[in-house]
Chain A
Amino acid sequence: MNRSYLFIPASNAGMILSSMVLDADAIIFDLEDGVALNQKISARTLLQHSLDTLDFLDKTLYVRINNASSDFFLEDVICANHPKVHGVVLPKAEIKSLEACLKVLDPSKTILCLIESALGVIQLPQLCQMSSQVKGLLLGGEDLSADCGVERTQAGHEIDYARKSLVMHAKAFNLMAIDTPFVDIEDHQGLKEEVKYVASLGYDAKVAINPRQVHVIHEALKVDPLKLKEAKMIVEAFEKQRTQGVGVFNLNGKMIDEPVYLKAKHLIEKEERRTP
C-alpha cells in the first residue's frame, strides 16, 4: 500500500531524472497545474521520452492529466496509457469528467479521482461505483476551497466535511483514501500533525508536493511499535481462545472481543502492507 504520492512537474527534466531515487512510494507526473500553459505540450513530450527511456525502479507511476474539458486531455490520456504508467489522477473528478476519461483510458489503468469541487464531493457515491478502474479518492483541498469561495486555512475547517466524507466513501467502497497536500513545505511539524490527524480518520496516504515532505509523511504514518506489539498479542490470544470456543475474554485487564480483534488484525495488516 502506498503511503506517499509525490507530485513531480512533468516539465522538470531534472526532477523526473531523480524521481525514482526519492523515498516516495508513488510518483504523480503532473501535466496539469504544475505545468505552465505554454509548456503543456513540451512537458508531455518530455514525459513520454522519459517513460520510454528511464528505469523508474519500483515506483508506482501516475500521471495527472489535464481537465477533461481542456484541449490537452485526449493526448494526456494517450501519454498515460504508457505501459510503465499505473494510472491517472483525474482532476476535477465529477461524473462527466470520469465518463470522458473512461472512454479513452486503457482499461488496465487505474484512476485516482481528485475530488476538488463541491459537485465532486456530492457525487462521491456515484464516482466510487462507476468503474472498477477507480481505485482511490484523492482530496484536493486548495481547489475545493476555491470552488466553495472560502479561505484555505491550516486548521482545515473549510474542507472538514469533504475530508470526512471522502474517507467514508473510500472505506465503503474499498478504495484508497489519499489526503490533500500540505502546502507549507518548510513546516514539517505541521505536516506531521496533519498526517497523524488524517490517519486517525482512516486515510491511507498523503500527497507530497515537495520531496522533503515524503520522509515526514512516512515517519508520521509509522505505527507505534508498542501498539503493534499489543495488537499482535491480541490477535494471537483471540485466535487461541476462539479454537476453544471462547469469544470474549480478559487480556491484561482489557476485554477482548471480535471488534477489538478485527481492529488489531487490521492494524497489523495495514502496517505490513505499508512497509516498503
Chain B
Amino acid sequence: MIKNSLNRFVPSHPFLGVHPLPPQTFPILKNNTQTNKLRDNLTDVIKELHLKDGAVISFHHHLRNGDDVLNRVMKEIAQLGIKNITLVASSLFEVHHPLVNYLKDKTVTKIITAYVSGPVAQAISEGWCEEVCVIHSHGYRAHMIASKEIEIDVAFIGVPTSSPLGDGSGSEGPSACGSLGYAVVDAMYAKKVIVLSDHISEPQHIQIKKEWVDVVVKVDRIGDPQGIVSGTTTITKDPVGLNIARMTLQLMENTGLMKEGFSFQTGAGGISLALAKEVYDWCEHHHIQGSFISGGITGYQVDLLNAHHFKEIKDVQCFDLKAVESMHHNPNHHAISADDYAGPTNEHNVVNQLDIVVLGATEIDLDYNVNVTTGSDGMLMGGSGGHCDTAAGAKFTIIVSKLVSSRLSVVVDKVITVTTPHESIDALVTDRGIAIHPRHQALIQHLKENTKLPIKTMQELYDIAIQLTGKPEPIHFDDRIVALSMYRDGTLLDVIRKVASEDFK
C-alpha cells in the first residue's frame, strides 16, 4: 500500500494533488451505415452478441430509479450463464436490486460506476462483489471510455425515442428523460452499441447518432416514468435549510464572482433548490444576467433561463419534467455529453468554466476533504458523480449542509472516504456557521468586517457539533478492500473497506 498526498493508503496510483491533465482528443471511429438495424427480440439480440465470460458492458442512468434496461439485459445475460461480467454503469440505484443476486452468483464480478446506492451499494460493502469495484467521477468515466482505458464490449443504451437506424433523443417519447449526456460517450466509443427503445420514431433533437449505433431493439418499455423523473421538484420548507440558502447567497455575493456573465451550478436537493430561487430573486433585483447554468437540471434552473437571468442551460441530466420539456422546446437549453460537461482532458469542458458550484456533503473534515461516497456507518451509499469534477473546475466551491443531521455532525475529524480533496473546497455553509478555507484569508477578513455572516473555523464548527452530538464511536472495517475512490485524473483518493460483519448486522 502506498500513502497518497491525503495521507490515505491506496494499493497503487496514489493521488498526488489536484493537477489538470493535458488536453487530449479521441477520434470517433464508428460509422455504421447499415440500414437493417431494427429488431424486436432482445433475447435473440443478446444471444447473437456471443458475449463471453469476462465481457465489459455499460449502461447509463438517465432513467434513474425507473430504469428497466439494466435489469432486463442482465436477466438475459444471467440466463445465458455468462459469468465474470464487468459492469460499467454511470450510476446504480435502488431499482437495480436484482444485481445483488448476480454479484452473488458471479454473473457480475466487478462494478465501475460514479454512484451507487441502495441494495447494490450494501452488497458491495458487505463484500459480495468478487473484484474490487471502482467509484469514479462522471468526468473520468467519459475519459476512461474515450481513451479506451476501459474498453466497453457492448453498450446497452435506453433511448426514449429512436429512429429505426438509431438516431436517438432523450426528450421525446413516453419515457422521456431529457438529456442523454452520460450515454453519448458509451455510444461513441463502445465496440457494439445496442439501443433499446419503446418509441421508434424519427426524433426532432438528435443526441445519439445513428452512425454510432449497431442495433435498435424495440421493447415494450424502457422504464417506469414515475421513477425516471419526478413530476415536480420542490424547495425545502425547512426553515433551517432556507437560512442556509440565504447565507450561501450572501457568501456568493461577497466572493465578487456574481457579476454580469457569471456561471453557476447547484444540485437538486432541497437547500440547493432554495438557493436557485434566491439566485433568481438576486438576479431580478440586481438586473444581472449570468452566462450559463450547468449540471443536473430542475424546473428552478429552467425558471432562471425563462426569466433571462441566464443565457443558457448546459444540461447533462434532467431531474424533473419541467426540465425535460424545456430541453425539448427551448433552443437555449442544451443537452451536453459527460465529456463536454466534465471530461478531464477536454479543454473546453463546462466545469472548468464554472464560477461557483454549490454541492452537498455527507461528511467534511477538519482538512476540508469531502465524503459523499460512504455513510457515517461506513457503508457505500453514493459516489462522486460530478462532485470532484465541478469542485475542481469551479472558481469557488461551496458545500452546504446542516451542521447536525440525524444526530450526526457533518464536520468530522477525518472523513471515512475522500471523494473530493480539500484543494477543491473553498467554503462550508451550515446553519451554525460558515467555515472558509484558510487559504482565503482576504475573503475571511472581508466577510468579518463587512457582513454579519457567522464566520467560524472548521474546528469551531466541529466543536459546536460535537458538543451537541457527542463523539461517535469509530466504525470497524475488515481488511478487505471492496472499492476504490478514484479521482478525476485516474489516481486513487482512498479505499473503501468491507464493513465488519457485526457492524452491518
Q: Which residues of A contact B452 (CB under 8 A)?
A: 276
Q: Which of B239, B432, B467 contacts A212 (CB 8 A)?
A: B239
Q: Which of B237, B246, B431, B467 contacts A18 (CB 8 A)?
A: B431
Contact A215 B240 (CB under 8 A): no
A18–B240 Cα distance when bound, in Å, is: 7
Instruction: Tell me, yes or no, whether B28 is within 8 Å of chain A by CB.
Output: no
CB interface residues, A 200-222, toward B, < 8 Å: 210-212, 214-215
Contact A214 B468 (CB under 8 A): no
**Nearest Cβ in chain A — how far from B228, in angstroms?**
30
Contact A23 B243 (CB under 8 A): yes
Contact B246 A212 (CB under 8 A): no
Instruction: Tell me, yes or no, whether B242 is within 8 Å of chain A by CB.
Output: yes
**Nearest Cβ in chain A — how far from B209, in angstroms?**
48
**Nearest Cβ in chain A — how far from B286, in angstroms?**
15
Instruction: Tell me, yes or no, whether A21 is within 8 Å of chain B by CB.
Output: yes
A22–B432 Cα distance when bound, in Å, is: 9
Instruction: Tell me, yes or no, whether A17 is within 8 Å of chain B by CB.
Output: yes
**Nearest Cβ in chain A — how far from B56, in angstroms?**
48
Contact B237 A212 (CB under 8 A): yes
Contact A22 B243 (CB under 8 A): yes
Contact B246 A215 (CB under 8 A): yes
Contact A215 B242 (CB under 8 A): yes
A21–B402 Cα distance when bound, in Å, is: 10
Closest chain A residue, CB of each to CB of B430: A21
A23–B242 Cα distance when bound, in Å, is: 10
- Central interface residue in B239, B240, B467, by most chain A CB within 10 Å: B239
Closest chain A residue, CB of each to CB of B464: A55
Total interface residues on A, using CB and 8 Å? 13
A276–B237 Cα distance when bound, in Å, is: 24
A222–B160 Cα distance when bound, in Å, is: 51
**Nearest Cβ in chain B — how far from A71, in angstroms?**
33
Q: Which residues of A contact B243 (CB under 8 A)?
A: 21-23
A192–B189 Cα distance when bound, in Å, is: 57
Closest chain B residue, CB of each to CB of A210: B239
**Nearest Cβ in chain B — how far from A140, in angstroms?**
23
A210–B238 Cα distance when bound, in Å, is: 10
A21–B461 Cα distance when bound, in Å, is: 13
Q: Which residues of A contact B431 (CB under 8 A)?
A: 18, 21
A81–B70 Cα distance when bound, in Å, is: 64
Interface string of B232-254 (1 = CB under 8 A from A): 00000101101100100000000
Q: Quick one: given A18-B431, A276-B452, are A212 and B242 in contact (CB under 8 Å)? A: yes
Contact A211 B468 (CB under 8 A): no
Q: Which of B239, B404, B432, B467 contacts A214 (CB 8 A)?
A: B239
**Nearest Cβ in chain B — how far from A57, in angstroms?**
9
**Nearest Cβ in chain A — how far from B478, in angstroms?**
36
**Nearest Cβ in chain B — how far from A244, in angstroms?**
37
Q: Which of A17, A23, A210 contacts B468 (CB 8 A)?
A: A17
Q: Which residues of B contact A215 (CB under 8 A)?
A: 242, 246
A23–B247 Cα distance when bound, in Å, is: 11
CB interface residues, B 459-481, toward A, < 8 Å: 467-468
Q: Which residues of B contact A55 (CB under 8 A)?
A: 467
**Nearest Cβ in chain B — how far from A70, in angstroms?**
30
A215–B240 Cα distance when bound, in Å, is: 12
- Central interface residue in A21, A22, A212, by most chain B CB within 10 Å: A21
A22–B237 Cα distance when bound, in Å, is: 13
- Central interface residue in B237, B240, B246, B404, by most chain A CB within 10 Å: B240
Q: Which of A21, A54, A210, A276 contacts B240 (CB 8 A)?
A: A21
CB interface residues, B 239-291, toward A, < 8 Å: 239-240, 242-243, 246
Q: Which residues of A contact B467 (CB under 8 A)?
A: 55
Contact B242 A21 (CB under 8 A): no
Q: Which residues of A contact B432 (CB under 8 A)?
A: 21
**Nearest Cβ in chain A — how far from B371, in angstroms?**
23
Q: Which residues of B contact A22 (CB under 8 A)?
A: 239-240, 243
**Nearest Cβ in chain A — how far from B246, in angstroms?**
7
Interface string of A242-262 (1 = CB under 8 A from B): 000000000000000000000
Q: Which residues of B contact A17 (CB under 8 A)?
A: 404, 468
A44–B467 Cα distance when bound, in Å, is: 22
A54–B243 Cα distance when bound, in Å, is: 20
CB interface residues, B 398-442, toward A, < 8 Å: 404, 431-432
A215–B246 Cα distance when bound, in Å, is: 10
- Central interface residue in A18, A23, A55, by most chain B CB within 10 Å: A18
CB interface residues, A 20-65, toward B, < 8 Å: 21-23, 54-55
Interface string of A1-28 (1 = CB under 8 A from B): 0000000000000000110011100000
A17–B243 Cα distance when bound, in Å, is: 15
**Nearest Cβ in chain A — how far from B443, in angstroms?**
22
**Nearest Cβ in chain A — how far from B28, in angstroms?**
51
A210–B452 Cα distance when bound, in Å, is: 23
Interface string of A60-102 (1 = CB under 8 A from B): 0000000000000000000000000000000000000000000
- Apart from A18-B431, A22-B240, list 11 A-B contacts with CB within 8 A: A18-B240, A21-B240, A21-B431, A22-B239, A22-B243, A23-B243, A54-B468, A210-B239, A212-B242, A214-B239, A215-B246
Give me the interface of B with A, judged by CB distance under 8 Å: 237, 239-240, 242-243, 246, 404, 431-432, 452, 467-468
A-B CB contact pairs (8 Å), 8 listed: A17-B404, A17-B468, A18-B239, A22-B239, A23-B243, A210-B239, A212-B237, A215-B246
Give me the interface of A with B, judged by CB distance under 8 Å: 17-18, 21-23, 54-55, 210-212, 214-215, 276
* 3 interchain residue pairs of minimum CB distance: A211-B239, A21-B431, A18-B240
